[in-house]
Structure 1
């Protein structure tokens, strides 16, 4: 499902409604809401929106379990940390128990951090994790989470969490793998900006080449895939919804 909005603000409100409605549904049905968050500027705007009383007060945060889809291998307080951004934008402003938050750890190496996070997930999920919602962004190179083009993690079928090195440089990453992400009940891409328009079209409509972008392999096994785009990101689509 592809939904196009006039601007990032309108998209943010739609994402907040999606997050809230899915939280309420999951809590009503099973007793908790399990969500894997994303980093990036658009998710940050969503988190800031969710921290406002209108949304915050509709959710029983004691029943929300927070995870992350990926993280840079940096200390928790680092400016590049997805956890740090999320705490400042959302978690520090809502009544959520500390024990409900499961950040990707900073360890002696990215691989050690990945193995520690996988151990955490194994303790919480008896079988392959099924998140109620996974939020994802999209890079201009077609990556999502920290699943980068050409990285060996793209072929991983057994590990739940792996380390990954972006081709563009910068800190190593820790990321959930396809088997975990694609098991989610709902996966939602949040994409804004004209710089994403080209890759959005290539992923959505194809360009006749054999190139396969990491984001194209996001395909829920039994869940729903939703793309929320602003008009700038959808500008190159032949027939945006």
Structure 2
């Protein structure tokens, strides 16, 4: 079982979203052919939504038994349920509402109007993860984890020069004083993300080029958190041409 890092470059954001969507559908068919249930972590942001919209638009999506797929999120903004800024709301509008999923297959983080404090919400999310734990782990082993990457190299809500990227004794952390609004968030931790079979990072735009280049050049995970992310089987950076501007030619894959 090899552990590979690949960079796949696409001409623009539209082709990037459609390509990732097609690969996601194909891989889900393979996964569900080999096992009874799949666990997928979704990401927010414009590319996360664009990819899900491309899945929704694909006729091939009907070939998947979505009732066997569980959806989670890498992080969430601490805002009320249904708020348009929430990653789960964006995913629901882009795809999930059209899949007729069993309610128990969708695992959003608690919302700020849930009656829980931020720390209680982190504990509640950790407990939800543990109900699907396998192999002695307090969480599922995710089959595919989607992540976006910020211009500063952050992933989920694990930011540079913050303690979150170094946490190893919890599955979910409460994030306060985030350098990106809103200031309060919930996030999976790095060990949970890195236990994923496959980590697919989707990023577009020239403002992401420096972070991607630094991550692939071996930067410190404290300086560039994405540098510390690697799936068990495979780590793939799906990028557009602008984001690939500082990627060494030798690291770019010509096939997948």
TM-score (norm 1): 0.93
Residue matched to 2:121 = 113
Post-superposition CA distance 1:206-236 (Å, at most 9, x none): 57x896311111022x321000010011122
| Pairing 1:233–2:243 present | yes
Tell me the matched-pair count: 239
C-alpha contact (below 8 Å) 2:144/2:198 kept by paired residues:
yes
Deviates more, 1:142-151 or 1:15-24: 15-24
**Residue matched to 2:59:** 54
Q: Deviations over 1:42-83 (max 9, x none)?
A: 010011111124132121111111111110111121121001
Match of 2:154, SS? coil
Give unmatched runs, 5+ long, in structure 2: 1-5
> Which residue does the alignment assign to 2:38?
33
In the alignment, the residues of structure 2 paired with residue 213 and residue 50 of structure 1 have an alpha-carbon distance, to the nearest angstrom, of: 30
1:88 partnered with 2:82:
no
Whether the 8 Å CA contact 1:66–1:100 is kept in 2: the answer is yes
**Is 1:185 equivalent to 2:193 in the alignment?**
no
Contact 1:151 1:164 survives alignment (8 Å): no
Deviation at 1:110, TM superposition (A): 2.2
Deviations 1:166-201 (A, max 9, x none): 124423111111111000010000000111112211
Q: Does structure 2 conserve the Cα–Cα contact (< 8 Å) formed by 1:74 and 1:171? A: no
- Alpha carbons of structure 1 residues 211 and 98: separation in structure 2 relative to 1, 3 Å: closer
How far off its partner does 1:161 sit? 0.8
- Give the deviation of 1:95 after TM superposition: 2.6
Structure 2 vs 1, CA of residues 210 and 164 (structure 1 numbering), >3 Å: closer, same or farther? closer
1:212 matched to which residue of 2? 223
Q: 2:131 aligns with which of 99, 113, 123?
A: 123
Counterparts of 1:143 and 1:66 in 2: how far apart (Å)?
A: 22
Contact 1:186 1:225 in 2 (8 A): yes
Deviates more, 1:181-190 or 1:171-180: 171-180
Task: Give the secondary-structure state (helix, strand or coil) at the position aligned to 2:158.
Answer: coil
User: Which secondary structure state, in structure 1, belongs to the residue aligned with residue 63 of structure 2?
Assistant: coil
CA contact 1:197–1:236 (8 Å) conserved in 2? yes
